[in-house]
Amino acid sequence: MKVTIDGIELDVPSGTTILEAARQIDTKSAPPAMCYYSTLKDSGGKCRTCLVKITQSSAQNTRPSMRLVPACRTLVEDGMVVQNNLSEEVLEARKGIVELLLINHPLDCPICDQAGECDLQNLAFEHGASGTDYKEERRRFPVQDIGPDIKLHMNRCILCFRCVYVADQLTPHRCHGVLNRGDASEIGTYIAKAVDSDFSGNMIDVCPVGALTDKTFRFKSRVWFARPMNAHRECTACCGKTVVWLKGDEVLRVTARKDDVGEVKDFICNGCRFQHKKLEDWVIEGPMHVDRHSVISQNHYEQLQGPQDA
């Protein structure tokens, strides 16, 4: 199927979404996605940051779509023409949505463990406006533990539902979910219950913001002071392929590996994530690739090479 996105034409198989097609052209200029996650079934459609304009529905139907559509949940049709960054309407809509995602966000990046690797920070930087006219009170929820290893800062949550899909699709019995309605909606277990399945830690990695963070890493370090290294170990529960975040020889935290769009393809078990915090637990493969636009890359550690290696 032929699809044209921002003037660039490409061929994709039928069943491809606009977002996937746009990512094939270039992951950087593709629409931002805060809720869609390709490895989690049913995800997407909710945050509305990936809205794009269809200027021609298909080769047969040359009419534009009535409304902006979510790129993550809209399938490409043959001959479809899409505007993403070239459409003022799309950029304006996106700016509005970023603002709405931020009006109740605490903007507590200086004390948030996610800062530096936060999709909402990046989204605001790339697609947001410089200010807001929001002058009302912000919504507040208490900070909670959900399980022994995970901290929930509901104030920061954008209700992407990814953690719910992780619990549904990777763990045997989901015990947390989205409670209440409207802007009172919150992630929770309703009655104090530990989320303690063996794969629950993946909720942290799929969380696009600092709502779910690793308690074993809490306030230990800013991510850009840590050195992320690809590492592996023999594990019977998962693939054992991880990133260990080092400070000196200390393992500050362990995460799953993310691809170039920031998604985990191989989820890891809680054993690898929370219980193996010694350097000798791991075979270090080498530095994780860090995009040069990321604040984490300011360590320049990846480029540190001896003259003999050059």
Partner 1 sequence: MPKFSLALLDKVQQIIRRYPEGKQKSALLPILHLAQQEFGGWLSPETMDYVASLLGLVPIEVYEVATFYTMFNMTPTGKFVFQICHTGPCCLVGSEKIISYIETKLGIKAGETTPDGLFTLKRVECLASCGTAPVMQLGKKYVEHLTEEKIDSLIEELRTHADFIRK
Partner 2 sequence: MQILLENSSVAGIDQFDVYRQHGGYASVEKMLTMAPNDIVEAVKKSGLRGRGGAGFSTGMKWSFLDQKSGKPKYLVCNADEGEPGTFKDRYFMERLPHRLIEGLIVSSYALGVNTAYIYVRGELSWIITQLEDAIAEAKSHGFLGSKILGSEFSLEIYVHPGAGAYICGEESALLESLEGKRGYPRIKPPFPAIAGLYGCPTVVNNVETLAAVPWIVMHGGEAYAAIGIGKSTGTKLISACGNIRKPGVYEIALGLPVEEFIYSDSYCGGLLEGRTLKALIAGGSSVPILPAHLATTTAAGEPRLMTYESLFEGGFESGTMLGSGGFIVLDDKACIVRNTWNFARFYHHESCGQCSPCREGTGWLEKVLERIEHGHGRTEDIDLLVEIAKKIEGKTICAFGDAAAWPIASAIRHFRDEFIEHVSLAKDHV
- Which residues, other chains included, contact 179 with Cβ-Cβ below 8 Å and sequence gap of 6+? 185, 186, 187, 188, 190
Could you tell me if 148 and 252 are in contact, meaning their C-beta atoms sit under 8 angstroms apart? no
Interaction mask 169-208, partner 2, x per CB under 8 A:
---------x-xxxxxx-----------------------
Q: Which stretch binds partner 2 (CB under 8 A): 90-98, 108-116, 196-204, 242-250?
A: 90-98
Residue corresponding to tokens 């603002």 = 99
107/179 with CB nearer partner 1: 179
119 CA to centre of own chain: 6
Q: State the nearest-atom distance from the C-beta of 72 to partner 1, in Å.
A: 23
Tell me the site size for partner 1, rule CB under 8 A.
12
Binding to partner 1 by residue 142, rule CB under 8 A?
no
DSSP 294: S
Interaction mask 25-44, partner 2, x per CB under 8 A:
-------------------x
Residue corresponding to tokens 């900070």 = 143
Nearest 10 degrees: Cα torsion 91, 44, 214, 279:
-90
Binding to partner 2 by residue 45, rule CB under 8 A?
yes
* Residue 173 interaction partner, one of partner 1, partner 2, none, beta carbon < 5-8 Å per kind: partner 1
Both ends of the chain: CA-CA distance in Å?
A: 44
> Which residues contact partner 2 by CB under 8 A?
44-49, 51, 67-68, 70, 73, 93, 96-97, 99-101, 103-104, 133-134, 136-137, 139, 158-159, 178, 180-185
